[in-house]
Amino acid sequence: MRLSFDWLLDFVDVADLTPAAVAEKLTMGAFEVEEIRKVRPEITGPVVVGEIVEINPHPNADKIRLTRVRVDTTSEPLEIVCGAGNIIVGQRIPVALPGARVINRHDGSALNIKQSKIRGAVSNGMLCSPPELGITDGDSEGILILPNTPALGTDIIELLRLHPDHVLHVGTRSNRGDALSVIGLAREVAALLDRPMREPKWQLPEPDETSDAIEVRISDTQDCPFFSLRVLQGLSVGPSPLKIIRRLEAIGVRPVNNVVDVTNYVLHELGQPLHAYDLAKLTTRAVDVRRARSGEQLLTIDGKERELSEAVLVVADQSGALGVAGVMGGKDSEITEKTKFVALEAASFHPARVRRASRLLGLASDSSQRFERGVDVGGVRRASDRAAALLLECCGGYLGRITSGGSDKVSPVQVGFRVEQLKRLTEIDLPAQGVASLLARLGLQSQLVGEALLDVSIPSFRQNDLTREIDLIEEACRMWGYDRIPASMPNSTAAPDLPDKTESTVRQALLACGLSETCTSSLTGVGSFGLGGEALQARNTVRVLNPLSEDHQVLRRSLLPGLVKAVAYNRDRGADDAWLFDVGHIYERTGESSQRETGVHEDLRAGGVLAGTRKLSCWNEKDSNELKSQTDSMASNFYVAKGVVENLLTRLNVNPAQISFQRMAEPPEHFHPGRCCEIRYQAGQESVALGTLGEVNPAISDKLSLRSAVALFELSLGAVRAAGSAAVFTEIPTTPSVVRDLTCDLPQAVDNGSVVSAIAQVSGPELREVNLVSVFRLSDDLKSHSYRLTFQHAEQTLTNEQVEQQLARVRQALTEQLSAAFRT
Amino acid sequence: MSVDELKEKLLQVETDAVAELERADTTVRLEELRLEFLGQKGTLTMVLRGLGMLSKEERPPVGELANRVKERIASEISARKEHFYRLELERRLSGETLDVTLPGTGLALGHQHPLTLVTERIIEIFYGMGFSLAVGPEVETEYYNFDALNTPADHPARDEQDTFYTDAGSSVVLRSQTSTVQIRIMEQQKPPLRIISPGRVYRNEEINARKYPIFHQVEGLLIDRDVTLGQLKGTLNEFIRVFFGRPLKTRFRPDFFPFTEPSAELDSQCPFCLGDGCRTCGHRGWLELLGCGMVDPNVLKGVGIDPDIWSGFAFGMGIDRLAMLKYGVSDIRHFWSSDLRFLEQF
Ligand SMILES: [Zn+2]
């Protein structure tokens, strides 16, 4: 909220401190001051009331005139040059005399007044227009004509209340509705500085007992615990006194008329929202506080027609709603220049009820903002009194009767405070008396009960947030000052658990493969990415009920759409080559929710995308073969992605013999159906899916205008973690190894996996490695594979004969099982 | 041949060989000479055939001389070979000079995302102070996100304008804070506890340079006997010193969170201007870094921990904000852009 420093001074004497010093104190006391703004540029005297006694033309200029202005009754009038056209003899106007500092109307800078010559004519000061005095409202052209004939020589700064003021922008706190007021923050300032509060005082005359009395009927005191209406009669509506106008202006509230201004003034001063109705517009002498009827209409003061619902609380007379309770009044009963009779509402509404209405209507006001945070029911009557006193002062008239419904009685609240608990939690070591006096600064009176127990009385305006011992510990600590508590270290030396390394190992492996890490949104649009979105999201997808936008409607089911979008994004910015990965969650509904179960499964995935070519180097020396071979590039395709996945699994020590890459019976639609596979891990009898890998379906590439093949992979880190193992050392054999090459012609339909497993099946443990050397396409039906087989026995040197026997078995198996042919 | 004649011959061979080797100018010629003098049909072998004609007593001194001559020639050959190799090497090296200013070749490494770099850094620092890593789900029930964290039923944070609700159930939300993990851990483990938990959180906020509806937080929780506000200050001061690599002044401003009391906002002296005021700190000299406080007794009671025996502190900080500060990133949206021009800077 905005706090006027000048206003604050009414309640606590901090005139010896700068606004910045008070702001610092508030900031360090839980009320952060975000900004301090000067209300108007500083003006210094002498600027006084003068009267124009003569106006003569300037001999050398058309647009400026020579005036004679009297600023006191005894001395001669002063000669002052003036360029404004709105002056006539006899007017009282502000005169800035030499030595004064006013404001340059053109750029807002300081303007120092000196005796000067203007086109040969002497000028002994300046007649001031409103902007030159820092007054921004009203007519800015011409000299300010002062109404009501103020006495000559009167200090204009006093008269127009042009004192400098500062506005502090103070952060609000959801549990401290009491501090959304000048008096509330003044209490804080007084407490933090340990200075006394000046409680406001006023005198109310006896009410006219013959005046109208309006019956108040509350349908539910849960919604509205207390509601009062006070009648004021014979008021004259007009502009407010300058003091009120300046203070409202300072905090950004537009002055309207004296009645409305007073309700706003008291709202900001005491934190109690008020509303004034034109009594003449009420059709009955009874007012209901009730829920709106479904479909009930109300034209609010801001000129908007609102449709109400049963969730909204209204103040109504017989003919309908007069206003939305605690939020905004209706246009029909608003105060106008013709208003003579006023019904002043001061009430207490339930925070949740006001919040509901405010949200439903999309309407927030200074009033709703306060009710939402809780307004002290014990302060309602006082605010009504304060406003009534001000209204009588500003608008004349006389006081009528007050009627009410509900109760504003506040029960006393006592909270016990074990003194040693303060030390236990905050290390502030004070005797009971010391603690009591810290609390007393906040208006919390306490009594010592027993040896070290304080019985603390909570005033009504803090009963909302001070209910427990811990709340009082916080207050004592705040008064003591958080910064006075010395820093220390916790005193245990227990070793923390080692963090699981899977995630970081995966990242390191992918970084080493040349993929850069990105971070993609876990909220996506519904099927907006054209990457199998529709099918992916058909079932068990978690939807957001109140999404921020179309692109944030559901929780993702895969990392891949985001990664493909990232490729398209970079392509649009001129980067065709993008090798990216992301590590993050995917989400799926797997069951019903309960109080503690969401029924949603989150799986941590690592996803990657390879698009374009990954250059192995950035330059190429044309005429050297040796260098050329170093500057090859690697196009993205299935096999490159598979290589990356294999690297990653190797890095996590997953036994390659237990890994298989298998075609899927029903490949996901985002993959090229012939160029994708599932990665599975065989753990004993159980086969676990680790993830998928493949090239993007060309239909998607075409849709996103991706030029070259894009390969993708996605692994479930939970499954991969379970498949990983710790490394175990195997003795290095000292026997020589024997290498043999084997080339066979195979039908196209036979895959490499079948060949390798057939070889492994018929070979003994001395076959240590089978490496594919080349694949050669012979015809549409036939291909040729070459393998390099490495044989090594752990203990003995293999003879040529033994190796040849093995090879013969391999050839036979391949011939019989896979129709392989061997050329001799 | 007499002994003297033989000796004479051997010495002559040696002289001839040395002279010839001196004249040799290629490695090929050296090999020819080796065969000529030391080969099976070489001069030296021929001379030594004469040894057989000598008496047993006469042989040793001649044999000795013969060996000396043989070694002399052999070492002369290897010296010459070494000389030629050096000449050859010099010639080769002088022709193989590279432009050392051409760029290096090889597969480029990928770049790690700045949010990961910062997260790992934060975890490491707290690991050093005894905090173990914990994780919790992003999709949460209102119970964990609000109720168990002592958030009143009508608290504005529960508003649809702040928190995302889902169709997975009437009270299933996207967590708005990592504090949910506090409860999950305290339900599962007995104190003393020290955990740190990074993760994604969600808030229904319009996207701009400073806000994104998804961001990352790290939650810290310490529960033990006699834990004090002073220890919270000490722990976080240490964190800031290590994270920014220098001791920075800090201040603890009282604040309000439902699940801690007393609560505080921790400001650190701006590491860029050291308090003088700059653009990063909005000319305040201070940076708001994180929220923290002593765990509220209601929270402890809710998970069956006696607040009169145990006490603790908790803190939560925005990783994205720390990363923006650490790397001077001006717009939070860069983190989510996947733009290589951004990613490749880290
Ligand atoms: Zn700074």
Which residues on A lie below 8 Å from B341 (Cβ)?
573, 575
Give pLDDT tens digits for B117-136. 999 999 999 999 999 999 99
Whether B106 shows a pLDDT value over 80: the answer reads: no
pLDDT tens-digit map of B136-169: 999 999 999 999 999 988 788 888 889 999 999 9
Determine the distance separating the centroid of ligand 1 and the alpha carbon of B130, expressed in angstroms: 31
Any CB–CB contact under 8 A between B255 and chain A?
A: yes
Say yes or no: B286 contacts chain A, CB-CB below 8 A: no
Element (H, E) at A401: strand A398-406
* Pick from B169, B171, B229: CB nearest A427: B229
Taking an 8 Å cut-off on Cβ atoms, the answer to whether B252 and A174 are in contact is no
Nearest residue, CB atoms, A573 vs list B120, B156, B339: B339
Which of these, A778, A777, A758, A776, lies nearest to A767 by C-alpha position? A758
Chain B CA closest to residue A464: B152
For residue B32, count CB atoms less than 10 angstroms from its CB and return exposed for 0-12, middle for 13-18, buried for 19 or more.
middle
Q: How many CB atoms lie within 10 A of CB A15?
A: 9
Shortest alpha-carbon distance between residue B83 and chain A (Å): 30
User: SS3 of A342, please?
Assistant: strand
| CA–centroid distance for A660 within its chain | 48
**Spacing, Cα B67 to ligand 1 middle (Å):** 87
Q: What are phi and psi of A727, to 5 degrees?
A: -70, 140
pLDDT in tens, A718-769: 999 999 888 889 888 899 999 999 999 999 999 999 999 999 999 988 999 9
**Mean of the per-residue pLDDT values for chain B?**
92
- Within an 8 Å CB–CB cutoff, is residue A703 touching chain B? no
Mean pLDDT on B78-94: 91
Tokens coding B126: 């707290």
CB < 8 Å from A in window 1-30 of B: none
Nearest to A494 among B110, B130, B341 (CB): B130
Q: How far is Cα B164 from Cα A748, in angstroms, rounded to an integer?
A: 54
Q: How far is the CA of B323 from the centre of ligand 1 (A)?
A: 16
What pTM was computed for the model? 0.84
Ligand 1 centre to CA of A471 (Å) is 34
Chain B touched by A485 (CB under 8 Å): yes
Task: Say how many Å lie between the CA of residue B293 and the centre of ligand 1.
Answer: 25
User: Would you call A585 and B109 a contact, using CB atoms and an 8 Å cutoff?
Assistant: no
3-class secondary-structure state, position A484: helix
Answer for the pair A555, A542: CB distance below 8 angstroms, yes or no.
yes
User: SS3 for chain B, per residue?
Assistant: CCHHHHHHHHHHHHHHHHHHHHHCCCHHHHHHHHHHHHCCCCHHHHHHHHHHHCCCCCHHHHHHHHHHHHHHHHHHHHHHHHHHHHHHHHHHHHHCCCCCCCCCCCCCCCCCCHHHHHHHHHHHHHHHCCCEECCCCCEEEHHHHCHHHCCCCCCHHHCCCCCCEECCCCCEEECCCCCHHHHHHHHHCCCCEEEEEEEEEECCCCCCCCCCCEEEEEEEEEEECCCCHHHHHHHHHHHHHHHHCCCCCEEEEEEEECCEEEEEEEEEECCCCCCCCCCCCCCCCEEEEEEEEEECHHHHHHCCCCCCCCEEEEEEEEHHHHHHHHHCCCCHHHHHCCCHHHHCCC
The span from the CA of B65 to the CA of B7, in Å, is 7
Q: The complex's ipTM?
A: 0.85
Look up residue A135 and give its two tokens.
């007054």
**Angle (CA) A581 A582 A583, round 5°:** 130
Q: Tell me, what's the pLDDT at B307?
A: 97
Distance CA A137, CA A528 (A): 52
Interface check A651 vs B, CB under 8 A: no
Q: What is the pLDDT of residues B220-276, one digit of tens each?
A: 999 999 999 999 999 999 999 999 998 899 999 999 999 999 999 999 999 889 889
Q: Which residue of A has its CA nearest to B113?
A: A517
Report how far apart, in Å, the C-alpha atoms of A108 and of each of A100, A407, A724 are: 15, 53, 72
Mapping DSSP to helix (H, G, I), strand (E, B) and coil, where does residue A132 land? helix
pLDDT at A226: 97
Each domain of chain B, given as residue ranges in start order, spans: 3-95, 114-343
Tell me if chain A has a CB within 8 Å of the CB of B310. Answer: no
pLDDT of residue B233: 96
DSSP letter assigned to residue A750 = -
> What chain B residue is nearest to A539 in terms of C-alpha separation?
B168
Q: Which of B102, B106, B336 sits opposite A616 (nearest CB)?
A: B106
Residue of A nearest to B233 (CA): A487
Given this model, what pLDDT does residue B154 score? 79
Does A231 contact chain B (CB < 8 Å)? Answer: no
B162 touches A: beta carbon within 8 Å: no
> Which residues of B are less than 8 Å from A630 in CB distance?
105
Distance (Å, rounded) from C-alpha A744 to C-alpha A811?
9
Exposure b/e, A365-393, CB count within 10 A at least 16 = b: bebbbbbbbbbbbbbbbbbbbbbbbbbbe
Q: How far is CA A93 from CA A82, A133, A134, A142, A216, in A?
A: 12, 12, 15, 11, 50
Contact B168/A28, CB-based, under 8 Å?
no
Of A28, A492, A545, Cβ closest to residue B165? A545
Cross-chain Cβ contact B230/A486 below 8 Å: yes
Measure A193 CA to nearest chain B CA, in Å: 16
Nearest chain B residue to A554, by CA: B166
In this complex, do A514 and B251 lie within 8 Å of one another by their Cβ atoms? no
Which value, in Å, is the radius of gyration of the alpha carbons in chain A? Answer: 42
Phi/psi for A695 (5° steps) reads: -90, 150
Q: Most A CBs within 10 Å: which of B139, B186, B256, B288, as the mutation test of the A interface?
A: B139
Say how many Å lie between the first and final Cα of chain B, rounded.
88
Paired residues of A774 in beta bridges: A786
Tokens of B120: 């790992």
| Inter-residue contact B287 to B273 (CB < 8 Å) | no
B171 and A176 within 8 Å at the Cβ level: the answer is no
Q: Choose among B110, B130, B265: nearest Cβ to A515.
A: B110
On whether the CB atoms of residues A258 and A240 are closer than 8 A, the answer is yes
CB-CB under 8 Å, A618 with B109: no
For chain B, say whether A648 makes contact (Cβ under 8 Å).
no
Domains and CATH numbers, chain A: 2-39+165-193 (3.30.56.10), 47-159 (2.40.50.140), 215-406 (3.50.40.10), 413-480 (3.30.56.10), 502-723 (3.30.930.10), 738-818 (3.30.70.380)
- The residue type found at A400 is G
Q: Is A543 in contact with B166 (Cβ distance < 8 A)?
A: yes
CA atoms within 13 A on the CB side of B130: 15
End-to-end C-alpha distance for chain A, whole angstroms: 94
- Residues of chain A numbered 489-518 and touching chain B (CB < 8 Å): 489-497, 499-500, 504, 507, 510-518
Report which secondary-structure segment, H or E, holds A218.
strand A215-218
Contacts of B202 in chain A (CB under 8 A): 523
> What is the Cα–Cα distance from A591 to B35, expressed in whole angstroms?
91
Element at A286 (helix H, strand E): strand A286-291
Task: Tell me the CATH number for domain B114-343.
Answer: 3.30.930.10
Distances from the Cα of A216 to the Cα of A43, A233, A274, A284, A690, angstroms: 50, 19, 16, 11, 71
Nearest by CB: B252 against A482, A492, A520: A482
Looking at residue A742, what DSSP letter applies?
E
CB pairs under 8 A between A and B: 275
CA distance B87 to chain A (A): 25
Residues of A in contact with B254 (CB under 8 A): 28-30, 474, 477-478, 482
Residues 110-139 (B) with a CB less than 8 A from some CB of A: 110-113, 115-116, 120, 123, 127, 129-133, 137-139
Chain A interface includes B263 (CB < 8 A) = yes
- Could you tell me if A53 and A89 are in contact, meaning their C-beta atoms sit under 8 angstroms apart? yes
CA of B212 to the centre of ligand 1 (A): 23
Q: Residue ranges of chain A with pLDDT lower than 70? A: 136-140, 527-538, 615-633
- Which among B116, B170, B253 has CB closest to A507? B116
